Structure 1
Amino acid sequence: MVDEKIYWMGWQYLLPGGAKRIWNLVERFGSPQAAWMASGEALVTRGGFEPRGAAHLVRRRSELDLQEELARLQEQNITYITFEDSDYPQLLRVIFDPPPGLFVRGTLPPPGGQTVAVVGSRRPTPYGVTVAEKLGGELARAGVTVVSGMARGIDSAAHRGALAAGGRTVAVLGCGVDVVYPRENKRLMEDIIEAGAVISEFPPGSPPEAWHFPVRNRIISGLSRATVVVEAAEKSGALITADLALDQGRDVMAVPGPVTSPQSRGPNQLIKQGARLVESAADVLEELGITCLFPGKHLQSPAMPGLTAGEETVYGMLSGDPVPVDIIIENTGLAAQQVLSALMFLEVKGLVRQFPGRLYARREKPSRF
């Protein structure tokens, strides 16, 4: 419903970057509209706000004309999609705290498409830039959408590599989609919008504040089947993204670097901890069970797509009879998030079918991946 969409959007204006709080409000009041219409007293008693915070919200809410904001988005060619919309990215749906909605400039990847995040240092070495551009290009030529954060350094290099290969790329921003940050990426941002999408959970006009970036990193990893770290210091936003990817049940991979370089410490440590070592896109594609590296050139096709350990566990307990997701979680002994992620990827690979009521079963004959 258009009205519901407006209220979802309104809450993102009032609580930018506050996905958990917004979901909590909607759960307590029953709908975003009901929460929006709540009195200051109800926001305290039911919503869990402090009186001062509730009064501030009520005041800001009274100053916000949602229809006017929606019209402004349309004027700027910004699309707003909610969690309830069919074009909301499926991979993002299953993370712990998905954004209620996304502000989008450009076109999101088609459902079921392959997505891989390539992230790294804002202060890369020439080696890192070269590798990121090469990796972005190889993935794009394989039909994979390259996801990154349009930051200086590795992120920008990965986007450029994908664009140079004529592929699709998505930039997730820690500011509004109408804000160019860093400023020198104005042309890059325009090219990304033309060949893919620039997205954010922060409303238009939001500045690039420091706390926004760890928040947006969960979207970078959440959009992607795997996250590849190219270069990163020991304490780096790219390593935060890698940790988030692991929490979301996604693959983490890393490009090794010289032991003498501080920028190699992050990825080298990830490899020590078990991350897949990446020398080229072929390593990424193999890990994800993707058998086509370049259009028209196929690698040897296995009997079925490559499966992660979690996917094998879930697939192994399924049969042709539909099983409730709660039973799958109980029988596998895996975390709920791991099971949901595995089921989604098994669906993408054509090995599992979902039925109404969140029931899952093996396909009789796995479809070709």
Structure 2
Amino acid sequence: MQKKHYYLLLAYFESFGSRVVLKLIDKLGSVEKLFTVDESFFYSIKGLKKNKIKKFLEERKNIHFEKIAEDLNKKNIKYLSINQDGYPRLLKNIYDPPLVLFYRGIGLKEKQYPLAVVGTRKSSHYGKKIVKKLLRKFDSRFSIISGMAYGIDAAAHSNAIKNNLYTVAVLGNGVDYIYPPENKKLYEKIIERGTVISEFLPGSKPKKYRFPMRNRIISGLSKGVLVVEGPQNSGSLITARTALSQNRDVFTPPGNIFKPNSRGPHKLLKQGAFVVTKPEDIYEYWKIDKKNKKQKNIDKKFKFDFSGKEKVILEQMNQFKAINVDELFMKLNGKIPLNKLLSELFKLKMKGIVEELPGKKFILEENV
């Protein structure tokens, strides 16, 4: 068997965590010896509990590589062990790196600027708009890492794909278990254009204790973490704390002081997080050479010859507050009939000038 096969077997053990296993390997000199060394070696090591040693020895005796390899192959799941060249360099250097990463998708790519984007599941339109605004101006040297949850996570992956950025979804369950199930289409898009990874065994269901463990991988894969919206007890703040312990940068945009979802970011700002209001803030903080920046002239998208009706409508709209069709009709003082107004709004939506929100509300795009 190859070295990576031994690490794969160890990922299926429940006795020792990755940190203990790596220390034992270091002591023995190779991972192979962990499977052949006499049991007296384990009992001679101070701090190892006898019940854990007994369990490890039982696991070592009863595990079979062929069965595991066959199961992974059937499920179309690949893996990367910590001894392999493609294992993420940043993740390898955290306190307790996973021995193995299971994955589906195009494989793990190391980009120059891996950025984690996390936030509340109950995100507002404001939060999603921030993600959209920031990610549309990042270039191909960036990768976007998140957790494929509702809200900000989903917005991060979706906008990364939309802007041709490589994205990684880190799951708190097996890579073959889609959670939340409503994100099935997003999952499929990610494995087509990016990668879905997990340290948890295939088939593992999501459990509460697994998500903080997952968060250390999200931050561990990243050079910095961007926290967009979240209450004070949000899981995204756990990711931020983990990021700081891993010596990663923490970024956050300010929010409305009256909104609960702003309390998390504002707490981080008080603790020294770097404030972000535009993509250039991250470019400047990381001293990224803007000459190599992706030449995406967003403004070209909006260089249309607007009709007289379109100009009248746009004068009544802005980028910060959505307006209902009926309210807009009233503001226009009957200059445009309601049925014609809906038709004009649809045209503006198709041009990418306005965005439609639930409840027949419309808002102006950022770059108009």
TM-score over 0.5 for the pair: yes
Does structure 2 conserve the Cα–Cα contact (< 8 Å) formed by 1:81 and 1:103? yes
> Measured at CA, do residues 227 and 160 of structure 1 come closer, stay the same or move farther in structure 2, by a change above 3 Å?
same
Report the Cα distance in structure 1 between the residues aligned to 2:46 and 2:150, rounded to whole angstroms. 39
> Measured at CA, do residues 237 and 221 of structure 1 come closer, stay the same or move farther in structure 2, by a change above 3 Å?
same
> Measured at CA, do residues 48 and 273 of structure 1 come closer, stay the same or move farther in structure 2, by a change above 3 Å?
closer
| 1:158-206 deviation line (CA, Å, top 9, x unaligned) | 1111112222110111111111111111111111111111111122122
Pick which of 222-231 and 7-16 moved more: 7-16
1:237 to 205, 230, 235: 235
Q: What is the CA distance between 1:109 and its match in structure 2?
A: 4.8
Does structure 2 conserve the Cα–Cα contact (< 8 Å) formed by 1:254 and 1:277? yes
Partner of 1:83: 82
Q: What is the CA distance between 1:3 and its match in structure 2?
A: 2.5
Pick which of 54-63 and 144-153 moved more: 54-63
Where 2:12 maps in the other structure, the secondary structure is helix
Report the Cα distance in structure 1 between the residues aligned to 2:37 and 2:16, rounded to whole angstroms. 21
TM-score, with length taken from structure 1: 0.73
Partner of 2:253: 255
The structure with the larger Rg is 2
> Measured at CA, do residues 44 and 211 of structure 1 come closer, stay the same or move farther in structure 2, by a change above 3 Å?
farther
TM-score, with length taken from structure 2: 0.74
Partner of 1:74: 73
Name the aligned partner's letter for residue 102 of structure 1.
Answer: L
Partner of 1:153: 151
Name the aligned partner's letter for residue 30 of structure 1.
Answer: G
Name the aligned partner's letter for residue 14 of structure 2.
Answer: L
State how many pairs are aligned.
Answer: 296
Partner of 1:181: 179
| 1:205-229 deviation line (CA, Å, top 9, x unaligned) | 2221211111121111111111000
> Measured at CA, do residues 134 and 17 of structure 1 come closer, stay the same or move farther in structure 2, by a change above 3 Å?
farther
Name the aligned partner's letter for residue 191 of structure 1.
Answer: K
Report the Cα distance in structure 2 between the residues aligned to 1:16 and 1:249, rounded to whole angstroms. 29
1:228 to 226, 229, 232: 226
Where 1:14 maps in the other structure, the secondary structure is coil
Q: Percent identity?
A: 40
Q: What is the CA distance between 1:133 and its match in structure 2?
A: 3.5
Q: Could you list the runs of 5+ residues in structure 2 that have no partner in the other structure? A: 298-368
Q: What is the CA distance between 1:117 and its match in structure 2?
A: 0.5
Where 2:237 maps in the other structure, the secondary structure is helix
Report the Cα distance in structure 2 between the residues aligned to 1:226 and 1:87, rounded to whole angstroms. 20
Does structure 2 conserve the Cα–Cα contact (< 8 Å) formed by 1:221 and 1:244? yes
Name the aligned partner's letter for residue 205 of structure 2.
Answer: P
Report the Cα distance in structure 2 between the residues aligned to 1:173 and 1:12, rounded to whole angstroms. 16
> Measured at CA, do residues 294 and 16 of structure 1 come closer, stay the same or move farther in structure 2, by a change above 3 Å?
farther
Does structure 2 conserve the Cα–Cα contact (< 8 Å) formed by 1:6 and 1:67? no
* Match runs of 1:190-229 below 5 Å: 190-229=188-227
* Match runs of 1:25-44 below 5 Å: 25-38=24-37, 42-44=41-43
Report the Cα distance in structure 1 between the residues aligned to 2:87 and 2:67, rounded to whole angstroms. 23
Where 2:2 maps in the other structure, the secondary structure is helix
Give structure 1 regions of 4+ aligned residues with deviation exceeding 6 angstroms. none
Q: Could you list the runs of 5+ residues in structure 1 that have no partner in the other structure? A: 299-369
